[in-house]
Amino acid sequence: MIFSNKYIDYTTKSKRELYETLLLFKLLSNSHLVYIGKYLLKFSIKIKLPISNLIKKTIFKHFCGGENIIESQKKIRELGKHNIKTILDYSVEGQNHVNNLEQVYQEIMNNLDVAQNNTLIPFCVFKITGISRFELLTKISAKIPLNTQENNELKILKNRLNKICSKAQEVNKPILIDAEESWIQNAIDDLVEALMIRFNKKTVLVYNTIQFYRWDKLKYMKKLHETGKSRNFKIGVKIVRGAYMEKERFRAQQKNYKSPIHKDKLACDHDFNKASKYCLDHLNDISVCFGTHNEQSTKYILELMQKYNIDNSDKRIYFSQLLGMSDNISFYLAHFNYNVAKYVPYGPVKYVIPYLIRRAEENSSIGSQTDGEIKRIKQAIKNN
């Protein structure tokens, strides 16, 4: 397999740290433990048990840059030494109060300021639910008429989005907008498309995220491309498989509608690869960021790039993995001069919990990359 750990730099890690990482992945590979741990964690936070320090020294340390941007700088520099860029991700989720939404908005603007002066940060990223109420997006997606107060909220959201993108344009840093649950995604897609129309005239500033665990999204991407051609704007997409599969299936079953998720992994992989090829086939109109830890898909994309004679460092193509996962892919890509960036989540420990739970679930799921991670760490311990 091309993505061995040959190019990973383990020299910054002590043997003790490697053993800690090994233990962490071993625990995460146990789905029963993760299932129970998830509820214990939520409960402990709810009753205000002082466990933040414990979390910070374990799972947080592995998957996050720090509690704020200053703390995350060390990670940014470390990755930068290896030609790996950073996408700072303020991972505070599920905060519906107006003050919190304003605070996240300010943090995104702050992120753009930090990115402006740092060549190691090629993009900024955010979730629309960081700056808007979830229920508002649910209502818009379901095409339920909004009341006066909700119309006002929508106005505030659009205003924030326009200000973020104007600033991104000013500091010349493209914006990635994450994909979320299917029942709010229509609203997100429409909002982001409006931003693309306004800001992607000459170059690609705004990237939407498309989840290919959904069976309707290949068609959606092609339609978006057609709209871009007819309305004269360029397309930016982050291609992912999707992070909310269990939740999606559960809701569809509960509410008795057809699940938006593919019937199996094979169908999901098939669409992900087809979408990847589609982007590379239309690079004049589409810039793409491949957000994946899947080795087969990454290998397939590299083979296509070679076949099409696309330069490894073509500015229209980025690869991205999450901090703490699949370093073998990130370091390999960086070594061969592909554009690669790690998502580096940060934020106060207690607010980053939903993100950490998703990482734990992902690593404990069947067919995850965790066994590979464990093998690589064992190998590194042997060589250390």
Ligand X SMILES: Cc1cc2nc3c(=O)[nH]c(=O)nc-3n(C[C@H](O)[C@H](O)[C@H](O)COP(=O)(O)OP(=O)(O)OC[C@H]3O[C@@H](n4cnc5c(N)ncnc54)[C@H](O)[C@@H]3O)c2cc1C
The residues of the shown chain that bind ligand X, judged by CB under 6 A, are 178-179, 209, 211, 213, 240-245, 261-262, 264-265, 268, 291-294, 320-322, 343, 362, 368-369
- The span from the CA of 60 to the CA of 66, in Å, is 8
Rounded least distance, CB 225 to ligand X, Å: 19
Which residue, 210 or 377, has its beta carbon nearer to ligand X? 210
Which residue, 24 or 245, has its beta carbon nearer to ligand X? 245
Rounded least distance, CB 121 to ligand X, Å: 14
Which residue, 127 or 160, has its beta carbon nearer to ligand X? 127
Which residue, 262 or 316, has its beta carbon nearer to ligand X? 262
Q: What residue is closest to ligand X based on CB?
A: 291
The side-by-side arrangement of strands in the sheet containing 286-291 is 85-90, 340-346, 317-322, 286-291, 235-240, 206-211, 175-177, 124-126
Rounded least distance, CB 70 to ligand X, Å: 23
Paired with 126 in beta bridges are 177
Rounded least distance, CB 265 to ligand X, Å: 4
Which residue, 6 or 249, has its beta carbon nearer to ligand X? 249
Contact 52, 41 (CB under 8 A): no
Which residue, 50 or 264, has its beta carbon nearer to ligand X? 264
Rounded least distance, CB 216 to ligand X, Å: 13
- The span from the CA of 94 to the CA of 134, in Å, is 8
Rounded least distance, CB 16 to ligand X, Å: 28
Which residue, 236 or 291, has its beta carbon nearer to ligand X? 291
Query: What tokens appear for 57 in the block?
Result: 């020294």
Which residue, 229 or 265, has its beta carbon nearer to ligand X? 265
Which residue, 160 or 359, has its beta carbon nearer to ligand X? 359
- The span from the CA of 127 to the CA of 110, in Å, is 15
Rounded least distance, CB 329 to ligand X, Å: 9
Rounded least distance, CB 103 to ligand X, Å: 21
Rounded least distance, CB 274 to ligand X, Å: 14
